[in-house]
A and B are shown apart, each in its own frame.
Chain A
Amino acid sequence: MQLEPTLEQAEMRRAVREFCSREVTIERLLDWERSGVGVDEATSRKVAGLGWLGLGLPAEAGGGGASLADVAHLIEECGRGLLPRPLLARMRGALGLAWLAPRSPTLAAVARGERTVALALDERDAREPAGWRTRLAADGCHVSGDKAFVPDAEAADLHLVAIGAPERPRFVLVDRRAPGVSCAALHSFGNEPQAHVSYREAAVLEVLEGGLDFDDWRRHQVALALAEMIGGMDAALAATVGWVKEREQFGQKIALFQAVRHQVADMGTRFTSARHLAWQAISRLASGSLGVTDFHSAAAWTGASFKQICWTAHHLHGGAGFVVEHPLRFHSERAQSLCIRWTPEAPALARIAATLLD
C-alpha cells in the first residue's frame, strides 16, 4: 500500500494551496459571486497559465500527461481552496474531452488554455442517460435538444453535448457561439454560473470517439467530484477545529465542552473514513482494479459526509460562521450541489443493493 502522495504530487498540492490562499480571498469570492460570471478574466488567465486546465491532457496534445490520481490531487486542493467553480468546470470539461476523444484535434487549443469546454449532459426531466432526448440529425452534423443546468455554459467556448441513444450516449462538440445555440442563465447555489442551453440544428464540430466508454467516463468525472469534496470537507473541518479552540463562551474555550469535542471527533472520523473510501475508489479506478461496490460506496459516503461535516461546522461556528463573508457557506453550497450532480446517494445505494441481492 502507498497511501501518501508522491513527492511530485505533494509539491503540486503545496503550490495549489499557496495559489488559492493568495488569490482566492473571501473578498474575491464575494465579487465573483456578485458578478454572476463566477470568476474574473485575470484569475482565469493565471490558472490557465499554470497549466492546470491541461494537466491531465495527453502529452501529444500539449497537455501535462498527468494521471487521474495526479489530477485528483490537484482538484482536492482546489476544493479546499475554493477555486472558482467555473475554473473547476473548465478542468472537468478539458478532461471530459480528452477522456472521450484522446486524439481530438481540439485538445491542443484546450491544453494551451485558448479554448474552454463546458459539459452539457443533463436534461430537465431525465436523470438516466437513456432519457436524454437531445438528438443528432440524420446528416450526423447537427444537434438539437435542450440541456439543463450546464455549468459555465455561457463563458465556455465549446460545449461537449451528450446525445441520447438507445444503447449508450454519444458525445459531440459544439461551438457555443454557433447559430442555434442559446443559453438562459440560472440562479443557483452561490450564484454558480449555470444555464439551460437549447441547441436548434446547431452545427457539430466533432463527434467524439476513441476514448472511454460512457460508464467509465462518468466514473472518472465522479472521481474528480470525490476529490473536490475531500478537499472541501478537510477545509471545513480544519476551520472548525481552529474555531472551537479559539471561541470562548462561559469563560472557557468551547472546545472544552464535551458535546463540542464529540462533534469534532465525529467530523474527524467521518472525514478520515470518507477520504479513504474516496481515494481507494480514485486510485483503483486509475489502476483499473475497481471492486464492484468501491465506487458506489465512495460516492454514497463521501457526499453524505461532506454535507454532514458542513452542517456540524456551521453549528459549532454559531453566528460567526453564518455571515455571507465566511468561507464555510461556500463549502456547504458546494457540498450540496456536488452531491446532487455527481454523487446522489439513492442510486449509489441502489447499485450496492443490487450487487448484494440480485
Chain B
Amino acid sequence: MDYGLSPRERAWRDEVQAFIAEHVDERLVDETRLRGNEGRGAEAQRFLGALRQRGWDRIAFPEEYGGLGKTAIEQWLFIDEIETAGAPMLPLTLTSVAPTILRIGDEAQRREWLPRIQAGEVDFALGYSESEAGTDLASLRTRAELDGDQWLVNGHKMWNTMAHMATHNWLAVRTEPDAPKHKGVSMLIVPMDAPGVSVQPIHVWPGLRTNAVFFDNVRVPRANLIGERGLGFYYAAMALNFERLSIGSAGMARRIFDALVREVRVRVVDGRPLRGDPWVRDRLARLRVELDAARLLGLEVAIRLDRGEVPAAASSMAKACVSELAQRVADTGCEILGLDGQLHAEEPSALVKGRLQWLYRLAPMLAFGGGTNEVQRDIIGFMGHGLPRK
C-alpha cells in the first residue's frame, strides 16, 4: 500500500498548485464568495479564461474529444485543490453536461454543441427537479410532444438554478407518456430565449437564488433531443455521475475549517488564547479527523473510477459523509466563535468572513440535494454490501 502520490500525480498536483498560486488571489476568492450563484464576475471570467488557455476546462472530457486524459485521481486532486483554494469550480456545463453529450449525443450533436460549450457561448441550467419530482425524479411531468419537426414543451421545473443567466436548459422531459416512468424521459436542450419560457426567482436560506421555470408551448428543434428517446432518466443519472467527484469533495468544508483554525490560532478571549481552551482543541481535532476521513472517501471514488468501476456505493458514502460533516463544521465553528459566530458574511467585522454562519445555512441543502442521504444510505446498503432490496 502506498498512499503517496505517484511521480506523475505529484507533478500534476504541483502544476495545479502553481497555477493556483499564480491565478487565485483574495479578490477572486472574495468575488466567488460574495456572488454565490449569481453568475461569474470579472475575476471568475479571468480565472476561467486562464483555465481554458491550458485546456483544463476539458479536464472531464475523454481524451478522444480533446480531454486531458487525466485519471480520476488526477481529476480529484484538481477539484480538491481548487475547492480548498476557494476559487470557482468549473461550471457544470463543462463538468457534467458536456461529458454526457459526448457520450450519448450523435456526431452532429457533438459538433453542434461542444465547440460552443468550449467557447463559453453556451451555459446550461440543469432542469431535472419539479415540485412533485424531487428525490423521485423519474416521476417528472414536464412533457415534450413531437409536432412535425419540433418538440412542443409544456410544464414547469423547480429549483432550476442559474436559469436566469443560462443560455440553455438541459431539460429532463417526459416524451413517452405510456412507458414505465423511468423509461419515458428524454433529455432536451431548450434555449432560454425561446418564446414561452418564463423564469421566476426563488430565494433560499443561504442567500442563493434559484428559479421556477415555466414552459408554455415552447418549440424546440427535433435535433435538440440528445441521445435516445426514453433514456433521459439514465442520462440524467450519468450527468450526475460526472459530478460525483465534486459532490463528494470535502474541499469546501476543509477550506472553511482551515480558515476557522487560522482564526482560533490568533484569537484572544478573556485575556487568554482561544487555542488554549481544551474544548476548542478537542472539537477542532475531532473535525480534522473527520475531514481527513471524508477526504479519503473522495479518493475511494476516484480509485474505483480509475479501475473502471461504477463507484455507486463509494460516492454515496462520500456524499452523505461530507454533507453531514459540513453541518458539524458550521455548528462547531459558530460555537467556537461565540457571538461573532452569528454575524452575516455581509458584516465587515465578521470573523472568518461570516463563512461559518453561511455554512450553517447552506449545509441542510447539501444533505437533501444531489440525492438525499437516505437514498445514499440505501445505495451503500444494497450496492456496497449486497443487502437485499426487497
Q: Do A318 and B335 touch across chains, with their CB atoms under 8 A apart?
A: no
Give A249 to B158 CA distance when docked, in angstroms: 15
Name the A residues within 8 Å of B365 (CB-CB): 319, 322
Contact present for B135 and A187 (CB under 8 Å): no
Whether, in the assembled complex, B65 has its beta carbon less than 8 Å from a beta carbon of chain A, the answer is no
Q: How large is the interface on B (under 10, 10 to 19, 20 to 34, 35 or more residues)?
A: 35 or more
A315-B367, A315-B368 are known contacts. Are A346 and B335 too (CB-CB below 8 A)? Answer: yes
Indicate whether A248 sits within 8 Å of B364 (C-beta atoms), given known contacts A148-B339, A329-B205, A344-B335: no
With CB as the reference atom, state the residue of chain A lying closest to B335: A344
Q: Mark B338-370, 1 if CB is under 8 A from A, else 0.
A: 111111101101100000010011011101110
Contact mask for chain A residues 232-250; partner B; CB cutoff 8 A; 1 contact, 0 none: 0000000000000000111
On whether the beta carbons of B270 and A340 are closer than 8 Å, the reply is: no
Q: Are A260 and B374 in contact (CB under 8 A)?
A: yes
Q: List 5 other contacts, CB 8 Å, given A329-B205, A336-B331, A336-B342.
A: A323-B202, A329-B361, A332-B205, A340-B335, A341-B339
Q: Once the chains are docked, how many angstroms separate the CA of A257 from the CA of B136?
A: 13
B10 to chain A: closest CB distance in Å?
39
Write 13 A-B pairs (CB below 8 A) sorted by A numbering. A122-B339, A125-B267, A128-B270, A131-B271, A148-B339, A149-B339, A186-B343, A186-B349, A187-B347, A249-B139, A314-B364, A319-B365, A322-B204
Do A323 and B269 have beta carbons less than 8 Å apart? Answer: no
B134 contacts which chain A residues (CB < 8 A)? 249, 318-319
A125 contacts B205, C-beta separation under 8 Å: no
Contact among A124, A249, A324, A332 with B136 in the assembled complex (CB-CB below 8 Å): A249
- Do B269 and A340 have beta carbons less than 8 Å apart? no
User: Which residues of A approach B to under 8 Å, CB–CB?
Assistant: 122, 124-128, 130-131, 148-149, 186-189, 191, 196, 248-251, 257, 259-260, 307, 311, 314-315, 317-319, 322-324, 329, 332-333, 336-337, 339-341, 344-346, 349-350
- Interface residues in B123-144 by Cβ distance below 8 A to A read 129, 132, 134-136, 139
Q: Do the beta carbons of B129 and A187 come within 8 Å of each other?
A: no
Tell me if B187 counts as interface (CB < 8 A to partner A): no
Q: Please report the C-alpha to C-alpha distance between residue A27 and residue B338 in the assembled complex, in whole angstroms.
A: 31
Distance A168 CA – B204 CA, assembled complex (angstroms): 45
Which one of B338, B350, B367 lies within 8 Å of A127 (CB-CB)? B338
B70 at the interface (CB under 8 A from A): no
Is B372 positioned at the interface, with any CB of A under 8 Å from its CB? yes
Q: Are B373 and A315 in contact (CB under 8 A)?
A: yes
Shortest distance in angstroms between A49's beta carbon and chain B's nearest beta carbon? 31
A109 to chain B, nearest CB (A): 29
Name the residue in B205, B357, B369 with the highest tally of chain A Cβ atoms < 10 Å from its Cβ: B205
Q: Mark B133-169, 1 if CB is under 8 A from A, else 0.
A: 0111001000000000000000000110000000000
Rounded to whole angstroms, the CA-CA distance of A322 and B346 in the bound complex is 20
Give the Cβ gap from B61 to chain A, nearest Cβ, in Å.
31
B346 close to A187 (CB less than 8 A): yes
Given A344-B335, A345-B335, A189:B269 Cβ within 8 A: no
In whole angstroms, what is the CA distance A337 to B339 when docked?
8
B279 at the interface (CB under 8 A from A): yes
B179 at the interface (CB under 8 A from A): no
Collect the chain B residues with CB atoms within 8 Å of residue A188's CB: 342-344, 347
Q: Is B103 interfacial (CB 8 A cutoff)?
A: no
- Given known contacts A187-B347, A189-B344, A318 and B339 CB-to-CB distance under 8 angstroms: no
Chain B hits for A191, CB < 8 A: 344
**Complex CA distance for A121 and B277, rounded to whole angstroms:** 22
Q: Contact: A339 with B335, CB < 8 Å?
A: yes
CB-based contact B377/A259 at 8 Å: yes
Instruction: Assess the A131–B270 pair: CB atoms within 8 A.
Output: yes
In the complex, the answer to whether A322 meets B364 with C-beta atoms within 8 Å is yes
Interface residues of B in 263-288 (CB under 8 A from A): 267-271, 277, 279-280
The minimal Cβ–Cβ distance linking B38 to chain A, given in whole angstroms, is: 15
| Given known A260-B374, A318-B135, A324-B204, contact A350–B279 (CB-CB < 8 A) | yes
B316 at the A/B interface (Cβ < 8 Å)? no
Which residue of A has the minimal Cβ distance to B282? A346
Nearest first, the 4 closest Cβ-Cβ pairs linking A and B are: A314-B364, A187-B347, A249-B136, A346-B279
Q: Which residue of A lies closest to B373 (CB)?
A: A315
Question: Please, which residues of chain B bring their CB within 8 A of the CB of A336?
Answer: 331, 334, 341-342, 357, 360
Cβ of B387 to closest chain A Cβ, rounded Å: 13
Say whether B364 contacts A311, CB under 8 Å: yes
Q: Are B347 and A186 in contact (CB under 8 A)?
A: yes
Distance between Cα atoms of A322 and B158 in the complex (Å): 13
- Chain A residues contacting B343 (CB-CB under 8 Å) are 186-188
Q: Using Cβ atoms and an 8 Å threshold, which residues of chain B touch A124?
A: 340
A316: nearest chain-B partner, CB-CB: B368
Contacting pair A248 B347 (CB below 8 A): no
B203 interface residue (CB < 8 Å to A): yes
List residues of chain B with CB within 8 A of the CB of A259: 374, 377
Cβ–Cβ < 8 Å partners of B75 in chain A: none
Residues of A with C-beta under 8 A to B268:
125
A3 CB, nearest partner CB in chain B, Å: 31
Chain B contacts with A in 95-128, Cβ cutoff 8 A: none
